[in-house]
Chains A and B, each alone.
Chain A
Amino acid sequence: MGKSNYILEITDVSKYFPGVQALDKVSFKVKRGEIHCLVGENGAGKSTLMKILAGAIERDSGEIVFDENPVEIHSVHAALNLGIAIIFQELNVVNQLNVYENIFLGKEKTNFGFINRRREIETAFKYLKKLDMDFDPLEKVSNMSSAKKKMIEIVRAITYKSKLIIMDEPSATMTEKDVKKMFKIIRGLRDSGISIIYISHRLEEIFEIGDTVTILRDSKLISSSPIANITKDVLIKMIVGRTLSNKYPVEKRRIGDVCLEIKNLSTKDFLKNINLVVRRGEIIGIFGLVGSGRTELARAIFGVDQIDSGKILVDEKNVEIYKPADAIKIKIGLIPEERRDQGLVTILTVRENVTLSSLRNISRQGFVNRKKERFIADKYIKDLDIKTPGMEQAVANLSGGNQQKVVISKWLSTNSNILLMDEPTRGIDIGTKSEIYKIISDLAARGTAIIVFSSEIEEIIGISDRIFVMHDGELFEYLNKDNITPEGIINYAIGGIY
């Protein structure tokens, strides 16, 4: 038969959006039955390329050959029919439906227009079993963890008889354990001849699972080669386009007086007896896996969730926080976990987002002082080096890293003394990541007390003055200063003893 070795061949594909060349003559090939990693900073062109393959947008020029035939992909439906399935970063399941209904969503098995429920359940069961997933096809999706929901999407992609499955940061919200499990499934798929394009910012994952790695930077192809030929340092250099001298800033900071004290804080359903003391200029790192209670703790301090018992002291004075507005009044800020849904109003401009929390301070009798407002927006765009065409740009058009800088600006403009940061660098490329670490460190140097909640161990180790671990709603300080290693901390976090 002489079948080509490649399932997908992309040649000189370009895409132009008003004002940006999103893809500039990108070419690479994906082999049959390989895990092909696609990496690059935010805005490098990965999403554009993916959307073209998914049929969500159309290319301007270039050629795409899929399974030996030149193709035009006009819609998501067309992509699926060709055998290309995409698993987007955001979860795409219908919560009100159960597992098997989600799996067959859009291509229900029918007899004369009626859904053949039994056949769907049986088929779903077969696939779940084959992939070694231990859940019931009849279970409602709404109560499942986001990792499980992701797995359902993978099953859905397989039932489409896809030849190529594209996964955009599937591990972003997963625990290590879930990631391991997912990798096992992905490897199984590869071994059965399916090709995977795996997009991730986590470089360790790429080395763990990838066969080939393709790097995009500034809308251009930088390299596409077997992973075995590349080292981590070289990879980082190719992604960023420069050598990152030091990812985590090393500055000596002066740690000041106690500024936030949490005493015996508990919530009705989860947090147990939390005690924490934070000083001015200190960066506290709280490591916790999904479901450990880290987000809940941040929300409880900020007044989003009600505290059942316990006390919060700010500058040694008792404070009552019933709602976010109370927390903001005593100069606490929260950078929430979900940037687009909780941190920003994406259809508003950079200026409007930056001043959203501080609007009262720059208004008189309810009238916004627009000169002051522009001044503030301009200041933070410069200070934090936010890459935007201007302050009147809608935040939706910014890259993830720059969006996060806008969220940080929002709290800087309220002069927060205490900043709670929940997953501050999730989904952000390494270049911008180190910029954000620098910002965090600079803030601490100016006397801000910072608590970073994160599931990224490396980040916690890199930036924290003191490390805490959350497990099952409880908070422990990690005291083993001589053994600050990822293994030590993970062990602690899953309830082991170091």
Chain B
Amino acid sequence: MRLKLGKIGLQRFVIMGIFVLLFIIMSLLSPVFLTTTNLINVLRQVSMVVIVGCGMTLLLTSGGIDLSVGSVLALSGVICAKLAVSGVPLPVAILGGVASGFIIGLLNGTLVVFFKIPFLIATLGSMYIARGLAYIISGGQAVVAGLPDSFKIPGRGYVGFIPIPILIMIIICVVFYIIQSRTILGRYSYAIGGKLETAILSGINISNVQLLFYSLVGLLSGVAGIILSSRLASGQPNTGLGFEFDVIVAVILGGTSLSGGEGTILGTIIGALIVGVLNNGLNLLGVHTFYQYILSGATLVLAVILDMTLKGRGIKIRHKIRQ
């Protein structure tokens, strides 16, 4: 494979640099940071953001966005738990949870593609609807009583020595990396986000592609919801508040353009890791949550400034005129 040089290469290099720097700083500041247990813990924490982030990267690249992922996370967990409590075999319950995510995604896609509703409004609407459904189905309380022991497997189990959430994350990353870099679908996401009219006039069926991307994001949110509820050992309707922003932050940090046409899965993974390492490190250092918010926000803004400056769209660095 030939390397694509230029701004994209440079940008990835910079975001990677930020990650490595952060990693080194945290290792120096905290003796616990560099232990296997802690690092696995970081990966487990970021797994849900990465899983949903993979779909969100494709969606954002194609010029869309989905704000409902946090609510879908809760809905999927609640449905899965409710089904498990009612005696349905666990695999079927899981499928039910994931399916609910897919359906909300499909709804988002339908609203955007066929009813031509602006995506911010459409997914904001379904964000409320999904949250409401989660509360109604759970009766407003965590679904705990009567859950089988096996319910904890997806979130806390291991395959060999690898935690299942991390395994799922790796598989999804590989699949979406391939989708984005090798398939027609990946190329179409860049074309649609890059210039919609050209994409239409080139014969691309943009409706189907967009519909698929929204559905995929919903499906992945469903998967993440199963992992979360399993880790919590309950289906809680109030989880995932603000999760959509964690995902979008990771995707943007990773260099995906909010205006579409640019973005990589690899960038999103690194973006999520930066957030994960930062949060974990600050926790280890005993920094109060209030200050963590400020530091996370500052990191995002600084990273985007750096990114835009490197792409030549941000602050202009004035060169002195040679005489």
Contacts and interface: CB of A to CB of B under 8 A. Distances in A.
Nearest to B2: A392
A74 B318 CA distance: 9
A61 interface: yes
B267 to A, nearest CB: 16
B156 interface: no
Contacts of B191: 345, 348, 352, 356
Contact of A345 (B190, B205, B322): B190
A264 interface: no
Contact of A324 (B6, B202, B318): B202
Contacts of A343: 198, 201
B205 A325 contact: yes
Given A74-B318, A352-B187, A347 B205 contact: no
A352 B194 CA distance: 12
B246 interface: no
A378 to B, nearest CB: 13
Nearest to A365: B183
B219 to A, nearest CB: 17
A382 B198 CA distance: 24
Given A347-B261, A363-B184, A410-B202, A61 B322 contact: yes
Contacts, number: 88
B262 A347 contact: yes
A219 B157 CA distance: 66
B116 interface: no
Nearest to B1: A370
A342 B2 contact: no
B198 A341 contact: yes
B201 A345 contact: no
Interface string A318-361: 00000111011100001010000111111110001000110110
B199 interface: yes
A296 interface: no
B202 A356 contact: yes
Interface string B143-182: 0000000000000000000000000000000000000001
A344 B195 contact: yes
Given A60-B322, A61-B321, A72-B321, A325 B203 contact: yes
B323 interface: yes
A471 B254 CA distance: 52
Given A61-B322, A324-B203, A342 B4 contact: no
B62 to A, nearest CB: 12
Interface in B186-235: 187-188, 190-191, 194-195, 197-205
A114 interface: no
Contacts of B261: 345, 347-348
Interface in A274-303: 302
A366 B205 CA distance: 14
B319 interface: yes
A6 B318 CA distance: 29
Contacts of B202: 324, 328, 356-357, 410
A368 interface: yes
A59 interface: yes
A143 B11 CA distance: 42
Contacts of B321: 58-61, 72
Contacts of A324: 200-203
Contacts of B204: 325, 356
B185 interface: yes
A61 B323 contact: yes
A59 B322 CA distance: 9
B209 to A, nearest CB: 12
A304 interface: yes
A368 B183 CA distance: 5
A345 B319 contact: no
Contacts of B319: 58
Contacts of B182: 367-368, 370
A324 B187 CA distance: 18
Contact of B190 (A327, A328, A352, A363): A352
B320 to A, nearest CB: 9
A126 B137 CA distance: 68
B180 to A, nearest CB: 11
Contacts of B187: 352, 356, 359, 368
B142 to A, nearest CB: 41
A357 B188 CA distance: 10
Interface of B: 2, 4, 6, 182-185, 187-188, 190-191, 194-195, 197-205, 261-262, 318-319, 321-323
Interface of A: 58-61, 72, 74, 302, 304, 323-325, 327-329, 334, 336, 341-348, 352, 356-357, 359-360, 363, 366-368, 370, 392, 394, 410
28 contacts: A58-B318, A60-B322, A61-B322, A61-B323, A74-B318, A304-B200, A324-B201, A324-B203, A325-B203, A325-B204, A328-B202, A341-B197, A342-B195, A344-B198, A345-B190, A345-B191, A345-B198, A345-B261, A347-B261, A348-B190, A352-B190, A356-B191, A356-B198, A360-B184, A366-B183, A367-B182, A368-B182, A392-B2
Given A61-B322, A347-B190, 9 more contacts: A58-B318, A74-B318, A302-B201, A343-B198, A346-B194, A348-B190, A359-B188, A367-B182, A368-B182
Q: Which 7 pairs from chain A and chain B are nearest by CB?
A: A345-B194, A328-B203, A325-B203, A345-B195, A357-B202, A356-B202, A366-B183
